[in-house]
Chains A and B, each alone.
Chain A
């Protein structure tokens, strides 16, 4: 991003970005404002309503939002999974029908991949889709579906050929979340909020024209969208660590311990200094990846290494805040120091204990740390494979 573009963006954000905790409807309104300002779909092709800018442009926009602790846009599953899948594999009719409302936020999407028995081993998913005339009849159970309750559509992975090898019998569908037979049960998560749900599908009719890509090619459709999720999304997350680091320092400057501010204790400074250097190291790897993306270079397993690295760091950093703040780090609300409120990795504001809990999610979602290490060992290091069961 050039300096001039960055200055314009910062000025616009300063005038328009909302502050504080937003209700979901307000976050959708904020999304619309971003869209109207031409800030949604920066990397999408012009023919699909985007601006066809380089991959890094989106990462830089998100990091500008992170810098001022502004809410990110909504419809992440639409913009990062459904949209790219439909652009790459969808029919012209699907592209004409679904892409624009994804950008505007008028239609919200969720991702229906994981199942109770298919987490890290996603390809073993059991949700069935059987052909019936012009439709498929879908039955099964999905889980960890973020924003399911708000969503109009879901990107669904279901088994269409139970006799084929597990990666080759899966298809990808557009599911109307208001179809008869779709039941959503919110899950209360460790933080106490209801961010994700279980989704039960019982004899749901899905028109065959809702198939994304060829029949039984759902695995490659799903995997191609994951590439960007690992490579392009980290910069803003890392900038949020920097924002949190500064807040941690400010609050540690206000809390007294042994007659002087906590921040003046040598042990505190060493740990915070180390954490800052680690954040900068993560940020530099993020920039390196974006530079490679822009140059259309082969990324290899670097996205997996990066995801492994920053997610493990996020957890250590949240633990560090707990260690340094002691009892103050326990307060979920009702605190006298404003900086005990941090923007959590969920994009919703919260307090340090929320941050400590949320930091546990990032080493699990989008491929656990263990799955990333497997990918690195297989693809980057070319170690002999584990015996497969």
Chain B
């Protein structure tokens, strides 16, 4: 089994290209503008990703996709995380992967690739429990809800687990949304509500709910990894130029050690995110996905705390880029698996192994 720690040259090139694209299309000033103007999402970035074929990264080649997997998807998530990108990319890409892996022959794949369809993922009834059923079927009707769904309002379709092995794809006219206000204006959340939705004609996919969760958790952890790397970069840049007591604050051991702790937790996160993505490209589900999300959650708390402390007052302002990352890390920490839920799963797994 590949460990996934080292990128192939193709993967490195892919990452470079993404970094370049994000550096021009998703600058901090640009992202802040999206926030400021309360736009639904960053259409410029979305278009740029579509034009350059990135939205088809994981979709079937028959529909214009690149046919890649979770390893490449997590590299993309990492790069989007670095710029606190405000676009509904990851759920649609995961949906593209799901469609390809479940062998669905649907034009939906093509419309994901060209950016005309956005898909949201409804993973949990309450945002905490990823195993309890979300939907009830009776008399050809679906009732139920998914809570705290990322990018639900701007989605054209929502993918929800019907049971452990089946996902159902529900179009926007069959669900309503209840927006949830959070401080992260670049990752909008809403509850997805199904009331007497007619299930005739809905596309069902044969796909494990556990795998969908694992993929989402690893993508989130990878996005957090990128965001944390940016927090560290910003902190290092600031520590080199900010002078107090006649010297750069980066010469003070207390500041240096905060940065060293950030770097250490980021490297640990990288080890486990890479291993988890690699494991999920070879097996349906993996405990590594849980380890990755738990580590990302733990690391994020250390990184946003230390980064803000290094920046001090300036990091507490709206103009500075840092708050975009702090809020994104907080969002992702609370989504796709929390400490309480994941640690109990890990406990049961480790006890039985």
**A interface vs B, CB < 8 Å?**
245, 249, 266, 269-274, 276-278, 280-282, 284-285, 287-288, 291-292, 295, 301-302, 305-306, 308-309, 370, 372-374, 376-377, 380-387
26 A/B residue pairs, CB under 8 Å, sorted by A: A249-B351, A270-B343, A273-B350, A277-B290, A280-B288, A281-B271, A284-B288, A291-B5, A291-B6, A295-B6, A309-B264, A309-B265, A374-B256, A374-B257, A376-B260, A377-B259, A381-B260, A381-B263, A383-B239, A383-B250, A383-B251, A384-B248, A384-B251, A386-B252, A386-B256, A387-B251
Q: Kindly list chain B residues whose C-beta atoms are within 8 Å of the C-beta of A272.
A: 343, 347, 350
Question: Shortest 7 CB-CB distances between A and B: which pairs?
Answer: A273-B343, A273-B347, A377-B256, A373-B260, A376-B260, A273-B346, A383-B250
In whole angstroms, what is the CA distance A386 to B295 when docked?
A: 31
Give the complex CA separation of A192 and B346 in angstroms.
Answer: 37
Size range of the chain B interface in the assembly: 35 or more
Which residue of B has the minimal Cβ distance to A288?
Answer: B5
Tell which of A295, A374, A377, A387 has the most Cβ of chain B within 10 Å. A377
Contact residues in B for A281 (Cβ distance below 8 Å): 268-269, 271-272, 291, 295
Measured in the bound complex, the distance between the Cα atoms of B3 and A298 in whole Å is 18
Using an 8 Å CB-CB cutoff, how does the interface string of B234-254 with A read, 1 for contact, 0 for none? 001001100000011011110
Q: Which of B251, B253, B343 contacts A277 (CB 8 A)?
A: B343
A-B contact count (CB 8 A): 136
Q: Report whether B251 and A385 are in contact in the complex, using a CB–CB cutoff of 8 Å.
A: yes
A306 to B271, CA, bound (A): 11
**Residue from the list A271, A277, A284, A305 in contact with B264, Cβ < 8 A:** A305
Contact present for A387 and B347 (CB under 8 Å): no
When the two chains form their complex, are residues A284 and B271 in contact, meaning their CB atoms are under 8 A apart? Answer: yes
B138 interface hit (Cβ, 8 Å): no
Q: How far is the CA of A277 from the CA of B271 in the complex (A)?
A: 13
- Using A270-B340, A288-B271 as known contacts, list a sample of 16 further A-B pairs with CB atoms less than 8 Å apart, ordered by residue number in A: A245-B350, A272-B343, A273-B344, A274-B298, A277-B290, A281-B272, A288-B3, A288-B274, A291-B3, A291-B6, A292-B5, A370-B253, A374-B253, A376-B260, A377-B260, A384-B250
Residues of B within 8 A of A287 (CB): 3, 5, 271, 275
CB pair A270–B236 under 8 Å, yes or no, is: no
Confirm or deny: B342 has a beta carbon within 8 angstroms of a beta carbon on chain A.
Answer: yes
Whether B343 and A274, one on each chain, are in contact in the complex, defined by CB atoms closer than 8 angstroms, is yes
Determine whether the beta carbon of A381 is less than 8 Å from that of B236: yes
Closest to A301 in B: B263
Q: Is B199 an interface residue (CB 8 A)?
A: no
Binding site for A on B (CB under 8 A): 3, 5-6, 236, 239-240, 247-248, 250-253, 255-257, 259-261, 263-265, 267-269, 271-272, 274-275, 287-288, 290-291, 294-295, 298, 339-340, 342-348, 350-351
Set A292, A306, A370, A383: member contacting B240, Cβ < 8 A:
A383
Most buried by B among A269, A272, A273, A277: A277
Residue numbers in A under 8 Å from B260 (CB-CB): 305, 308, 372-374, 376-377, 380-381
Q: Which of A272, A273, A384 has the most CB of B within 10 A?
A: A273
**Within the complex, what minimum Cβ distance (angstroms) separates B344 from chain A?**
6
Residues on the A chain within 8 Å of B288, using CB? 280, 284
Contact A386 B291 (CB under 8 A): no
Alpha-carbon distance A201/B253, docked complex (angstroms):
35
Nearest chain A CB to B274 CB, angstrom units: 8
Query: Does A274 contact B259, Cβ atoms closer than 8 Å?
Result: no
How near does chain B come to A368, taking the closest CB pair, in angstroms? 12
Chain A residues with CB under 8 Å of B287's CB are 280
Bound together, the chains give a CA A50 to CA B6 distance in angstroms of 29
Q: Known contacts being A287-B3, A383-B236, is A280 close to B272, with CB within 8 Å?
A: yes
Contacts of A308 in B (CB 8 A): 260, 264
- Which chain A residue lies CB-closest to B256? A377
Question: Which of B247, B256, B265, B346 is in CB contact (< 8 Å) with A276?
Answer: B346
B236 touches A276 (CB 8 A): no
Chain A residues with CB below 8 A from B251, complex form: 383-387
Residue of A nearest to B241 (CB): A384
Q: Report whether B346 and A274 are in contact in the complex, using a CB–CB cutoff of 8 Å.
A: yes
Whether B268 pairs with A270 at a CB distance below 8 angstroms is no
A376 shortest CB reach to chain B, Å: 4
List of A residues within 8 angstroms of B345 by Cβ: 273
Report yes or no: B261 in contact with A373, Cβ–Cβ below 8 A.
Answer: yes
**A-chain residues with CB within 8 Å of residue B350 when the two chains form the complex:** 245, 272-273, 276
Tell me which of A281, A382, A384, A387 has the highest count of chain B C-beta atoms within 10 A of its own C-beta.
A281
A210, B180: Cα distance in complex, Å? 74
Contact among B253, B261, B271 for A386, CB-based, below 8 A? B253
Bound Cα distance A288, B2 (Å): 11
Q: Is the pair A269, B271 in contact by a Cβ cutoff of 8 Å?
A: no
B278 to chain A: closest CB distance in Å? Answer: 10
CA distance A276 to B344 in the complex (A): 11
- Give Cα A266 to B347, complex, Å: 10
Which residues of chain A are within 8 angstroms of B348 by Cβ–Cβ distance?
269, 273
